[in-house]
Amino acid sequence: MNDSSQMGTTCASSSSSAKNPARRRRFGLAFWLTFVICMATWMVLSGLFDAFHLSLGVISCAIVADLNARAMWLDVNLGRTLRHWGRFAVYVPWLLIQIWRANLHMLKLTFHPRMRQLINPRMVSFKSRIDNRMGLFIMANSITLTPGTVTVFTSVMGRFTVHAIDDVSARGLPGEMEDRVARIFED
């Protein structure tokens, strides 16, 4: 996820700015979204709601949002972003259930007295059909968090290399998770 992903970032940003330069306005929607997120984080973390601390928060959040707005949102589209977040909120409980089952499986492996006969580590490689970078990021993190698998390498083109701990977890790849992650970003 390191150098290949950074390469993908620069490619995507340069192409999107070449397509529509009008989106790179200074106080556009991207600025205000970043500002609102920063301000909410400020208010939760400080816990002080008097005028002095709130004005300090407004000043520092404005500076941070102005510097970082164009790095956070490559092309901002409010409706699509909200749809993605809504579908992601549906995905998270399913992922938590999968994480719970994965942990029970891992617990059984850990305390099994003949553990070295039970596990069968191997490297599995597969090609995914997810084509956007955020989907690949969520997919790689979900693979690391669920049944006996750790993502070793991800390319921008969707090729995954995964270290699986036993036969059961190696057989379950890419499985249902890929469909669900692809459904988040399908439009």
From its phi and psi, is residue 148 left (phi > 0), alpha (psi between -120 and 50) or beta? left
Of 15-23, 82-90, 98-106, 171-179, the segment contacting other proteins by CB under 8 A is 98-106
Question: Nearer to other proteins by C-beta: 70 or 163?
Answer: 163
Q: Which of 19, 24, 80, 122 is close enough to bind other proteins by CB under 8 A?
A: 122
C-beta of 50: minimal distance to other proteins in Å? 14
**Residue 64 binding other proteins, by CB under 8 A:** no
Question: Nearer to other proteins by C-beta: 128 or 151?
Answer: 151
User: Which residues contact other proteins (rule: CB under 8 A)?
Assistant: 1-2, 44-45, 47, 99-100, 102-103, 106-107, 109-111, 115-117, 119-123, 140-141, 144-145, 148, 150-153, 163, 165
